[in-house]
């Protein structure tokens, strides 16, 4: 199998409701995602996919939806959530709502869902995404065999 990987980075804040430690408070990260794509046959230029296509499609979505905003859980009981959502909306960076706590594991699963939709029709499939939440901590999504 031949694959290629494109790295995409962005800044966002989140909080993990019910977290045992300091991650229950609002805080930000410099996220980085390594998106690995696979194809059965290389194109006539010897590529799985042009890295720029992944940057444009997936990176463009990340830029619009996740960069410089908050990734929060729908139904989070924290009273300030509504104020943050309203402020971000007013400032042009609406909150991105997940149906689960915005842990690295849930964020990488959401990115995999979106990336697969965005790259549909390009002739490649996303086979792995590694999401770095900090330089020392990451979560990985892999396509099931």
Active centre residues (catalytic): 23, 68, 133
Expressed in angstroms, the distance from the first to the final Cα of the chain is 13
What's the CA angle centered on 66, arms 134 and 95, to 5 degrees?
Answer: 115
E-assigned strand segments in the chain: 2-14, 27-39, 69-73, 96-98, 125-134, 137-142
Residue 111's nearest CA partner among 16, 3, 36, 29 is 36
């Amino acid at each position: 199998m031949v694959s290629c990987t494109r790295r995409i980075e962005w800044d966002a804040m989140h909080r993990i409701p019910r977290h045992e430690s300091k991650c229950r408070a609002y805080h930000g990260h410099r996220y980085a995602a390594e998106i690995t794509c696979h194809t059965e046959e290389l194109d006539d230029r010897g590529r799985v996919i042009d890295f720029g296509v992944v940057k444009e499609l997936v990176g463009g979505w990340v830029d619009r939806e996740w960069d410089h905003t908050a990734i929060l859980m729908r139904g989070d009981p924290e009273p300030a959530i509504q104020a943050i959502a309203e402020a971000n909306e007013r400032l042009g960076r609406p909150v991105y709502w997940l149906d689960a706590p915005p842990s690295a594991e849930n964020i990488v699963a959401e990115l995999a869902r979106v990336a697969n939709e965005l790259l549909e029709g390009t002739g490649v499939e996303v086979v792995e995404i590694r999401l770095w939440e900090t330089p020392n901590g990451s979560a990985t999504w892999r396509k099931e065999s």
